[in-house]
Structure formats: C-alpha cells, structure tokens
Chain A
C-alpha cells in the first residue's frame, strides 16, 4: 500500500492537475513500480465508474414563479408619496377625533386648568399681579412713614409730599378690584365658550377624513392596475 502523498498525486495525475515535471517523474515511477500502477488503475476505475452513473432528467421544471420568490409588481413613482400622505392624514384624523371626544371630560375634571389655559388667561395674571402691586405700594410708603415718625421736626414741604403719597396710594387699590372683577367675568364667559366648542374644528376632521379616503382609494387603484399590468 502506498503512502497518501502518492495516492494524492496519482489522483491529481488522473485529472491532469500535476505540473509537467511532476507528471514526468510520476510516469517514470509508474513504469518501474507495479503496485503504484495498480493503485492508479483502481483510482481510475473508481473515478470512471462514477461517470457512468445514469444522468437523470429532472422530473419537473424548476422554473420560478413571482409568488415563489416573493416579487411584487413595480409601483408608480408617486405611490410612496400617496402612501405617506394617507398615513399622515389618517393619523391626524384619529388624533383630532380623539382630542375632540376627550375634551369635555378633560375640562370638567380639571376646571382650573382650562380657566388658565388660552382664553381665560387674562384674569389669572391680573389677580396674581394685584397683591404684588399692593405690596410694592406698601413697601414704598413704609419708609416714608418711618421717616415721618423718626424726623418730625424736618421742613414742611417734605412732610406734605409724604402725605400726598399716602393719599395717592389708595387709588390703585380702588382700581384693582374693578379690573379683577372684569377679567374674571370675561374669563368665565370664555370658559363657557371653551366647553361648548371642540378644540379641533369639525371642518379639519372632515378634511382629514376625505384625504384618508381618497388616498386609500388611490393606493388600491394603483396596486390593482400595477398587478394587472404585471400579469
């Protein structure tokens, strides 16, 4: 039995894969070595017998259909644009519809939030500002009063000035309650309006609905015509 290197060379020799010099060397060895020659003829028989295996004809055609390979008909260029617009319009439709449906519940459960939000906002800042103004007035008048008590012997013009200031201070105080009252009245009117009106106008919802329907229909027609052309 020959070593594997010899067998590998014999196998390659049969396939014509040896270089010219290697082939010559092997041929020379084959002439002198009967065992090597015998292995060569065995390998040759084993190789050739495989070539005599009957070639079967394929029992069916393996041609592919578009369905088998998951091919889809080519769509027009505008198809993605239509699809995007339709999806966007549908999302807006759902969103606006939900907002409108939920708005009464939201305003009833949290009235103070609705009051300060949007239309009724005028009253709240005014009410919040009023005490600050009042305090500022008081801080302004306080040093003047203190000065008056600390230095009663000072010249008259300054004390009259202080007195004038103290007289003037009540004026804004009188004006404030009116403004506050007006603002709060406006605010309550607006609140009534807000609760009655939908946050997103009905016309918009209709518009979104129309876009969604037209878009969906266009997509369907595009798909049908593309697949009918493809067939």
Chain B
C-alpha cells in the first residue's frame, strides 16, 4: 500500500483511496477506542466518527506520521464520547441468559483454539487489565494505550495527544505506576511471568 499516494488522492476527495487507508488502520483505531472507552459499542461509534472526521479534515494533514494523526482523531472522538457519557450517564446492557443472568463471556468473544478454562482465565485477565485502565484518568489512559498497547514512540504519542514530549514521559511513568498498584489486587489472575515484585511493595 502506497500510503502517501493514497493520502494525496484522499485529500483530493477520493473516497475509495481513503477507504483503503481505513481498511489498513481500522483494527488499530478500534482497539485504541476500545481500550480508552472500555465498551465495544461505544468504541465502534467512536471509530466510525473518527474516520468520518478524518476524511473531512484530511486536507489539514501536512505530512509526518499518519498513524499519529489518525490516532489523534480517534482520541478526540473518544474524549467526545466520554464527555457525552458524563453529561448523560447510561447503564450498559450486558448480554443475559434465558434465566436473566448476565453472560460473562459472550459468544462473540470466544476463541475456538482455547479450552474453556484458558478462555475463562484470559477473559478474567482482560477484564482485570481493562478495569485498571478504566481507573486511570483519561489523559493517562490515552498515553498508556498509545504507547504500550499500540506501540507508538514518544513523539508519535505527543502528536496524537497534542502534549509536549516531557509531559508524555511523565504521564506514562505515572500511569504505569498506578497500573502496577491496581494490578496488585489481581495478582492471582496474572500469569507467573507477570507477577509483581514483592520487594517493591
């Protein structure tokens, strides 16, 4: 994929070129939104909004890392969604069984390669991590998602979050520190290799 050529075409209004870019970035955008918002439906909405907004403002892209630019669009969409939630809080509808009990592991999350026990363990771990991510302030969560989950470097994160490099460094350290503290309460869920150090307590 010649990204630069596609971006140039999209800047001239070529929607097909932009859709090719979307197909390349949609998983990263959706995962970022999912980890920042912690809800799949909201993440879908935010991702869709982000792509619409990105197409409408693609003429403002002046080069550099396109991933950082698109991630800035998605983080903005996520912040909008979080502000909306704050104004109008809603209760998420969890999938239920016929008896009215909540399903912890919905069918659409199932991985056929895993045994039920492994699946349950993986789900619990994911919930624990997401719980700790949700406990972080928005700006810390964004930085940690972009740097540690999306694997972006500091300068890309700074572009996406629109904050100086020094702030990224500081936020990331604070976020990791808080994550470490939060994950201690889920120690038994963590795989042996990720067990936190007793000495540092």
Q: Which residues of A does B touch, CB under 8 Å?
A: 4, 7-8, 10-12, 15, 17, 34-35, 38-39, 41-43, 45-64, 66, 68-69, 71
CB pair B197 A42 closer than 8 Å = yes
Which chain B positions have C-beta within 8 A of A63?
A: 19, 22-23
CA distance A11 to B44 in the complex (A): 32
Q: How far is the CB of B9 from chain A (nearest CB, A)?
A: 14
Scoring A10, A35, A50 by chain B CB atoms within 10 A of each residue's CB, the highest score goes to A50
B69 lies within 8 A of chain A by Cβ: no
Q: Quick check: B147 and A57 within 8 Å, CB to CB?
A: no
Complex Cα distance A68/B52, Å? 7
How distant is the Cα of A64 from the Cα of B10 in the complex, in angstroms? 12
A46 touches B173 (CB 8 A): no
B3 in contact (CB, < 8 A) = no
B140 at the interface (CB under 8 A from A): no
Among B24-32, B59-67, B82-90, B92-100, the stretch that binds chain A is B24-32
Q: Considering residues B29, B35, B169, which has the most beta carbons from chain A within 10 angstroms of its beta carbon?
A: B169
Q: Which A-chain residue is minimally distant from B145 (CB atoms)?
A: A50
User: Is B135 part of the binding interface, using a Cβ–Cβ cutoff of 8 Å?
Assistant: no
Interface flag for B34 (CB, 8 Å): yes
Which residues of B line the A interface, CB within 8 A? 13, 15, 18-19, 22-23, 26-27, 29-31, 34-35, 40, 44, 47-48, 51-52, 55-56, 108, 122, 126, 129-130, 144, 147-149, 151, 153-154, 169-170, 172-174, 176-177, 179-180, 183, 190, 194-197, 199-200
B190 nearest CB neighbor, chain A only = A49
A56 touches B34 (CB 8 A): yes
* Chain A contacts for B56, CB-based, 8 A: 69
Q: Contact between A62 and B51 (Cβ–Cβ < 8 Å)?
A: yes
Q: How far is the CB of A8 from chain B (nearest CB, A)?
A: 4
Find chain A residues with CB under 8 A from B147 CB. 15
| Chain A-chain B contacts (Cβ-Cβ < 8 Å), number | 118
A59–B44 CB distance below 8 A = yes
Given A62-B22, A63-B19, A63-B22, residue A46 in contact with residue B183 (CB < 8 A):
yes
Give chain B residues whose Cβ lies under 8 Å from the Cβ of A59. Answer: 30, 40, 44, 108
Closest CB in chain B relative to A99 CB, distance in Å: 45
Cβ-defined contact, A51 with B148, below 8 A: yes
Contact of A69 among B52, B148, B149 (CB under 8 A): B52
Q: Are B180 and A64 in contact (CB under 8 A)?
A: no
Sampled A-B contacts (9; CB under 8 Å): A12-B173, A41-B200, A42-B196, A42-B200, A53-B130, A61-B23, A63-B23, A64-B15, A69-B56
Q: How far does the alpha carbon of A39 sit from the alpha carbon of B181 in the complex, in Å?
A: 11
CB pair A17–B190 under 8 Å, yes or no, is no
Measured between alpha carbons, how far is A71 from B15 in the docked complex, in Å?
9
Write the chain B residue with the least CB distance to A51.
B148
Q: Which residues of A contact B51 (CB under 8 A)?
A: 62, 64
Q: Specify which of B40, B126, B183 is in contact with A53 (CB 8 Å cutoff).
A: B126
Q: Which residue of B lies closest to A57 (CB)?
A: B27
The closest CB in chain A to the CB of B50 belongs to: A62
- A47: contacting residue among B23, B35, B130, B148, CB under 8 A: B148
User: Do B149 and A58 touch across chains, with their CB atoms under 8 A apart?
Assistant: no
By beta carbon, the residue of chain A nearest B13 is A71
Contact A17 B180 (CB under 8 A): no
Contact yes or no, B26 A8, CB < 8 A: no
Bound Cα distance from A54 to B144, whole angstroms: 16
**What's the Cα separation between A71 and B55 when bound, in Å?**
11
Query: What's the minimum C-beta distance from B191 to chain A, rounded to whole angstroms?
Result: 8
Residue contact A58 to B129, C-beta cutoff 8 Å: no
